[in-house]
Each structure stands twice: as structure tokens, then as C-alpha cells.
Amino acid sequence: MNQHTALERFIRYAKIDTQSQEDSESYPSTKKQFDLLNLLARELEELGLRDVSIDTHGYVMATIPSNLPAGHPAAGKVPVIGFIAHVDTSPSASGANVKPQVIERYDGTDLVLPGDPSVIIRVSENPELAHNVGKTIVTSDGTTLLGADDKAGIAIIMTATQILMNDPSIPHGDIRLCFTPDEEVGSGTKFLDIKVFGADYAYTVDGDTPGELNKETFSANLAVITVHGRNIHPGSAKGIMVNSIRAMADIIARMPADVSPETTEGYEPYIHPHLVEGEEAKSTLKILLRDFNTPGLEVLRQKLEAIVKEVQAIHPKTRIELTITEQYRNMKDHMGSDTRLLDVMWEATKRAGMQPKWVPIRGGTDGSRLTEKGLPTPNIFTGGQNYHGTTEWLSVSGMEKAVETVLNICRIWVEKGA
């Protein structure tokens, strides 16, 4: 257990089904997440960490105690730093029976996945593949997602932990670890008490392209449109049936194509029809509203209201409802004025031999909520790509560089405290 590589750990974790579930009434949303959470708690104990715990909500926490002697110039001056990753995988693709495919000395060509040859990781769609020619990458077999989001982050933290516990020559203060459930369904920090966690600053390890660092996320709301109709046997439906599906189809058809994930990038906002279900009497559509500028969410709401009003007039016998729920906010808005947290991760990435760059996350992380709650928590890369689908893949060298970055973060905080 004390000598596993990041790749070995990742493969082991990836094979455990931890898919979360939207609209579940339990927490975590699926009990199977405990399979990995309990394993991580045991592994942390085997590595010799202090204060290892797992609570009823699934949060696993532990402490790597400071190794600074009493006479060290930084003793007592280094803030408690936290590292966080989530165990659950996206509901968007199966996480059961994952078969990681380790491809050594990648040759730079398209990858046809063996479990489903129609699933192809194309070079034309994955420019990062060019940086991995001759290196090792990992894919699924094409029938499931891989789970690099965020089991690569877990493997990175656990590998850095084993190094810190085994190598006293790396100076560090107290370090807190936390593994969370349900991040993919927006509830990763729902019951996480930041006072119990006890970190002064934290980092999620939940990014993607090596060298990319994140201090900005979308602000996010969830819109739900419900269309109420009336059902009756289609053989006698004339003049009586009110088909909610037809009205919902008109709503979807009016969603602006130039404000969608498929047509936007960078800081551009979007409206994303995410999940639709229904029958004649009732149809429901979930829509993701995203904008880096939080007031911009109001503009997106107004666009939806205009669509609903127009379609209601076309289908007067239906009843159409629109509700909007806050999900998370741009972490940049709550990061605070202390730049040390960001300066340290930038320098740590450079020392790992990478060229760091700030990239806005077109999504959210556990860090979005934690930063809003008062624990500044930017995000570190993992080496993963194509999250939430069967073409997901992982750069092993990128994962290893993330381990170096985590270790450098620990060193640099000591240097700043000296």
C-alpha cells in the first residue's frame, strides 16, 4: 500500500462503480459510493495518517501531521492546507464494470476502443493527444466512462500522501485531506462542515489538461420547465387531448442555438437543455443556465420566460411552469484578496516542469461552494480529458505532474512561512 504508483491506484479505483444519481432522496445519492469511500479510509489508516474518519454522509477526512521540528523557522507559521477530490462519477454514462485500457507508447493515431468499435477517440477532436505521443494513456473499453473525473484526483492525492508519509525530507505543515461524494450531481459539499475540515486554504484536484489551473467557474442555476396537458385514449382524443409533449417540443425548438454548449467557449454563457421526460399529461425539461458573470443569469432567465410566454400562447390549453434554483457561484467572486493561495499553486506547477496557465472552468467544482462558504479552494489539473462520456481518457504523465505539483505546494507554503 505504501508503494503504489498513481497509475496503479487509479486503475484500482476506476473499477469501483461510484456513479451518483440525480433526484435521489438519500445522501450520498447512491450507497455504492461508500465502497470507495470506505476503502480510502482504510488506505489512509494503513498509510499512518492521523484523525482518519468517515461520517454518515460519506465524507472521508484525515490529517498528514506537520513534520517541521520546533526550531524550524516556519514552525507554527504555515497555514493548514487541504486537498479535496470527489469519488462519484457522472450519471451521464455508465460507471459499472469499467475496464481501463492502458496504452503504453501511444503512437499518435485515432483510438478505436475495443468494447465498442464505434467509439473512437479522434486526434482531430483531442489536440492534447499530440502531447502524449510515446507516453502512457488510459481509456475505458468504450462501453463506460473511465472515471478520471475524479478518480485521477483521488489517485494523485493518495500518491502524494504516501510520498509525504514515507519521505521526511519533504517539509510540510499540517495537511488535511477530504474525499467527497455527489459532486457530479451538485451536492458534494452539502453537509461538509469547513470548521470540522479545519483547513485555512484548500485545493481541489479535479481539473483536466496538464498545466491548467482554475480560479474561476461558471455561476450556475437550474431551470425546470413543466408542461401540464391532458391525456385521453388517442382513439377518442379529438378536441380533448392536450399533448404536453408537443408544447415541450416547441419550447426546445426555440432554445437559442448560439447560446448553447455546442456553440460557445471561453467566457461565453449558455442555456443547455439537459434532461427531458414526460408523456401526454405532463412533460418536464431540466435546463442548465451558466454564466461567469452572475448577473448574466438573470438575462438567461428572461430568455426562458420569453420562450415560455410565446409557447403558452400557441398552446393555450396547456399550463406551463418555470422554476429556477440556484446551484453554485463563480469562485472568483469569493476568492478574497490574499493572493498567496494562487501564487503557490502557480509556482508549484512551474517547479513541476509545466507552463501554468489560468483557464476558466466551464462548469463547477466542490471548490465553487467551498469558496463561497469561506474556504478559498481553487482547482488543480489531473491529466484527464473528455469527462462524462465513453471517450474519456487520462494522461498518466499529466497525473504524475499533478502529484509533483501537490508536493511542491506543500514545500512552498513552508518556504513562505519561514
Sign for the CA dihedral angle at 73, 77, 80, 81 comes to negative
- H helices present in 25-76, as ranges: 33-46
Distance CA 263, CA 273 (A): 14
Name the active-site residue from 149, 182, 183, 208: 183
Whether 305 is catalytic: no
Whether 88 is catalytic: yes
Note whether 72 and 190 are within 8 A (CB): no
Residue 379: all three cell numbers together: 482547482
- The DSSP 8-state label assigned to residue 269 in this structure reads -
Note whether 227 and 282 are within 8 A (CB): yes
Distance CA 181, CA 120 (A): 30
Helix axes 148-166, 6-14, angle to 10 degrees: 140
Strands in 302-367 per DSSP E: 319-328, 357-358
Nearest to 218 by CA among 266, 258, 184, 260: 266
| Partners of 201 in beta bridges | 81
Note whether 96 and 190 are within 8 A (CB): no
Contacts of 169 (CB under 8 A, 6+ apart): none
Name the active-site residue from 43, 88, 206, 404: 88
At which residue does the C-alpha cell 468517515 appear?
54
Rounded to an integer, what is the distance from CA 176 to the centroid of its chain?
20
Note whether 382 and 395 are within 8 A (CB): no
Distance CA 306, CA 329 (A): 24
Backbone angles phi, psi at 403, to 5 degrees: -60, -45
- 237 burial (CB, 10 Å; 0-12 / 13-18 / 19+) is middle
The three-state secondary structure class of 82 is strand
Distance CA 266, CA 359 (A): 8
Active site residues: 88, 183
